[in-house]
Amino acid sequence: MATYETVFITLPSLTEQEEADLVAALAQVVSDDGGTMATNDRMGRRRLAYPIRKFEDGVYTRFLYDSSPAVPKELDRRIRLSDKILRHMTVRLEPDWAVAAKEQAVRDAAARVEAARLAAIAAAEAAEAEARKEAEAAAAAAAAEEAAEAAGETPEAPSEEASAEAPEAPPEETPEESLEAAASDPSDEQPSEGPADAAPEQAEEDPAKKGTSEVADA
């Protein structure tokens, strides 16, 4: 069995599922005819050297397999019948090239696994950092809310104590009560007119008394 390498370019307009079904069908051709697939590498979307069917991009896929000469012939026939493949090429590798290509394929597969592992770790770390950031933001918001509540309760406590300690204001008196209080208070009574009236009378009596005293002396 010889080692073959087949590279084909699929339409960039295919959906992910359509592309996967097409590649799986072609890989099945290799296994059905007794071949052994060494690598099935999706090389990704790349720019074409020149437009093909008005497409400037294409998705490259590479098969590396050991098989009889009938397998690449069947692959070539299937690819030519498909309108979803822009171009393809199959080459037979020399034994030395075949060994190097297989070793490189193993290294590439290991590199893809490692890249996927690192990507998963990076995604997990990013998710953890985002969760930590959200938790810190929530804690800061809760602390700010508690501080705001505490600041709002602090000025109210002294006012409540002051209002509790302040004496109650006396009730307002009605006009009737004010009059009754004024009538019962002796300090508010007007002085009697007796002494004031007696003073002039005494003053008027003084000249008579004076004349009598003068006659007596004579």
Provide the percentage of residues in the chain whose pLDDT is more than 70: 70
What are 185's two structure tokens?
């208070």
Q: What is the pLDDT of residues 131-179, one digit of tens each?
A: 999 999 999 998 888 888 888 755 454 555 555 555 555 555 555 555 5
| C-alpha torsion sign, points 127, 128, 133, 135 | positive
Q: State the residue for tokens 């004579």.
A: 218
What is the model's pTM?
0.55
Whole-number Å distance between alpha carbons of 72 and 69: 6
Residue among 12, 61, 6 nearest 35 (CA): 6
Mean pLDDT, the chain, whole residue set: 79
pLDDT exceeding 90 applies to what percent of the chain? 47
**What average pLDDT does range 55-63 have in this prediction?**
95
Q: Is the pLDDT of residue 49 over 70?
A: yes
Helix axes 16-32, 70-81, angle to 10 degrees: 150
Residue 54 pLDDT > 80, yes or no? yes
Greater pLDDT, 117 or 211 = 117
CB contact set of 43 (below 8 Å; sequence gap of 6+): 59, 60, 61, 62
Reported as type and span, the H/E element at residue 65 is strand 55-67
| Greater pLDDT, 176 or 72 | 72
Q: 192 or 88, which is more confident? A: 88
Number of other residues whose CB lies within 10 A of the CB of residue 59: 21
- pLDDT computed for residue 72 by the predictor: 93
What pLDDT shows up at residue 30?
Answer: 93
Residue with tokens 């002494």: 195
Q: Above 60 in pLDDT, residue 211?
A: no
Structure tokens at 69: 């000469």
DSSP state of 166: S
Please compute the mean of the pLDDT values over residues 27-56 and round it to a whole number: 92
- Report the DSSP pairing between strands 2-10 and 55-67: antiparallel
Tell me the average pLDDT across 28-43: 90
The span from the CA of 176 to the CA of 174, in Å, is: 5
pLDDT over 60 (residue 104): yes
Closest CA to 26 of 70, 101, 77, 68: 77
- Confidence class for position 215, pLDDT limits 50, 70, 90: very low
